[in-house]
Structure 1
């Protein structure tokens, strides 16, 4: 499992170094007004690599998807360090919560989802992380931003 479980509330924590978090923020802001997307490589619940990607969806204003060539590159790179993938994307006009379509895709992939919301622009986007099981049940975790020395 990519995230550390917190036994007190059955939730989980994903630790993201601040430099990666800032790169993700810049990527989703640059993607506006469309959805932006990318991936993170993680080891033991801590993000070790950021993979910003182009949104390859047919309608990028309404959905996000990573291209097949990008996903193959990301999988191969993550496999090289035996990590796990976390998918992230933005919701330009709605809250940072999995949509029906997000839940459908996540049920098949099993990835954790970090979702950024830009609904309060020009305020900075905010992010939340979710686990979505095979039945479509959503559990929210916690993002811990790690200062970089």
Structure 2
């Protein structure tokens, strides 16, 4: 289990992520960021492949394989990100169930205070469903 952690995101990549999240509204938007030692190095915005994108987000298997292979090229880590258009930036029960399988970090944007800009929080979700919050630093 991770005690505390920081995910550092260059401002240019953070702005790309925000644009992707905003463009998906009112549905959930999703993607992956690739990181090396907690430093984000690449953004992979994806389409939301969920059957009901208004309340859940899923990345297609084809997109996941493409992203995984690219991240593997630079020996990075994948961080899943998605938006909560109408609720807090905190993992839902369904988010926790999905996250328990993969062990990825989850970065969640909330648009609940629109038209204010979305805000982001990052979480580690362990195999038992325990949630630990980290810190997002835009650099």
TM-score (norm 2): 0.98
One of 92, 97, 105 as aligned partner of 2:98: 105
> Which structure 2 residues correspond to residues 1-149 of structure 1 after superposition, within 5 A?
10-146=3-139
Distance 1:62 1:29 in 2: 15
Distance 1:33 1:21 in 2: 20
Cα displacement string for residues 13-69 of structure 1 (whole angstroms, at most 9, x for unaligned residues): 000000010000000000000000000000001000000000000000010010111
Gaps of 5+ in 2: none
Gaps of 5+ in 1: none
Secondary structure of 1:11's aligned partner:
coil
Give the superposition deviation at 1:11. 1.2
Distance 2:74 2:5 in 1: 22
Secondary structure of 2:52's aligned partner:
coil
Distance 2:13 2:106 in 1: 16
Distance 1:51 1:119 in 2: 23
TM-score (norm 1): 0.91
Distance 1:130 1:67 in 2: 22
Distance 1:92 1:127 in 2: 12
Divergent runs of 4+, >4 A: none
**Corresponding pairs, count:** 139
Cα displacement string for residues 93-148 of structure 1 (whole angstroms, at most 9, x for unaligned residues): 000000000000110010000000000000000000000000000000000111xx
